[in-house]
Amino acid sequence: MKVVDPAGSPYASLSPGVWRGSTVVFDSFEDFVSRKSRQPDGYSYGITGTPTSRALERQVADLEGARHCVIMPTGASALITTVMAFVRAGDHLLISDSCYGSLKTFGRQWLAQLGVDVEFYPPTLDAGIEALIRPTTRMICMEAPGTVTMEMQDIGAITAIARKHGVLTMMDNTWASPLYFKAIEHGVDFVVQAATKYFGGHSDLLMGTVSLNDPDRYATLRETQSIFGQATSPEDCFLVQRGLQTFELRLREQSRKALAVARWLEAQPQVRQVLFPALESDPGHALWKRQFEGSGCLLSIILEPSDAERAFGAFFNALQLFPIGASWGGTHSLIAYYPASQQQARAFSPTDQPIVRISIGLEDESLLIADLAQALAAYARAR
């Protein structure tokens, strides 16, 4: 990046600059008026961004194969702000039952109270979703594979049906990322990434991105981001720009390790099922192989049932290399527990059992497997 300092001397750096600021000033009244009218890309106030955030947005749009991108403070805010920008009272909203929990909760507890007809559909419904579309259907929300239970969706089939009926589509594509799935090319209108995960890559920031092609929808989304005050820190933008320098290297290595761990887990007697579409045994494998070019680092397992919850306590407390945490996608491996009650409360869950979700980082996979082996042994003893 090359800039000129106040003394007129040039300065070039491999590191992107960090532009902070809440207030944008203008040279004249005419400039102020014209700048204000050049939104969504112009600068009028810090909420809409600085050159630092614009540079990141261009970078993410290029990765996605999109014309535009809007960054938000979190992945959840990216999902919810996009829905709020385009869905109104009287509209019908379709949300996959395996979508991110906060989006489902927002639909159920907020949008439904505001007059939106919210309907959850089976994640594997695919082309059958056409039967659910009404004259008032405004948007279909997707995630593939699904949060926690990892169901695949036929994205191309759903978007083709949506376009036929004039319905918008939004997809959370964080698991595969644009490296392994170009959702824009498959007809998705709004592609969301939780940049907290792979883009940032180091478990030290929160951010979401929304990429899209349509300029009018981009203007609407930018305005909504501004009105809702969804400003993103320039420092966090810098960290994501830095993370993107190693994004592909990290994800390819984490993906390789995750597949190795998943194949090992599949052969363990205490593991009833591994939920990971890259495995041939997974119900969504054929869809994954047809649509995706690789797999993410996140997988889930269902253990052989135990009547004692203390068995899960024994499993988790035996782990030495896996911290317990709800996020994923960073350089450090993580593990999390989702009780049976969460799956039983869903309308279309593939299981009624507890789920263990595992994010594979950059540690040696043989060490991770050894750690899981002794934890599974502890689980077996406690059952």
Quote the tokens at residue 13: 């750096």
Instruction: Please give the pLDDT value at position 14.
Output: 78
The H-or-E segment that residue 86 falls in is helix 75-86
Radius of gyration in angstroms for the set of CA atoms belonging to the chain, rounded to a whole number: 22
pLDDT value at position 40? 76
The residues near 267 (Cβ < 8 Å, ≥ 6 apart) are none
**DSSP classification of residue 335:** E
pTM, two decimal places: 0.93
* Residue extent(s) of CATH 3.40.640.10 domains in the chain: 19-244
- The Cα–Cα gap between 234 and 242 comes to 12
Q: Are residues 254 and 246 in contact, defined by beta-carbon separation less than 8 angstroms?
A: no
Cβ–Cβ < 8 Å for 368, 257: yes
Task: Tally Cβ neighbours within 10 Å of residue 150.
Answer: 27
DSSP state of 23: B
Residue 9 confidence (pLDDT): 65
Where the chain has pLDDT below 50, the residues are none
Beta strand 10-12 with 2-4 is: antiparallel
Helix ranges, 267-351 (H): 285-291, 310-318, 340-344
Residue 69 CB neighbours (<10 A): 24
pLDDT at 36: 60
Q: Is the preceding peptide bond at 145 cis, omega within 30 degrees of 0?
A: yes
Tell me the CATH number for domain 247-382: 3.90.1150.10
pLDDT at 2: 56
For residue 351, the Cα-to-chain-centroid distance in whole angstroms is 23
CA distances from 101 to 97, 104, 147, 244, 293 (A): 9, 5, 8, 26, 26
Q: How far is CA 242 from the centre of its chain?
A: 19
The CATH number of domain 19-244 is 3.40.640.10: yes
List where CATH 3.90.1150.10 sits in the chain. Answer: 247-382
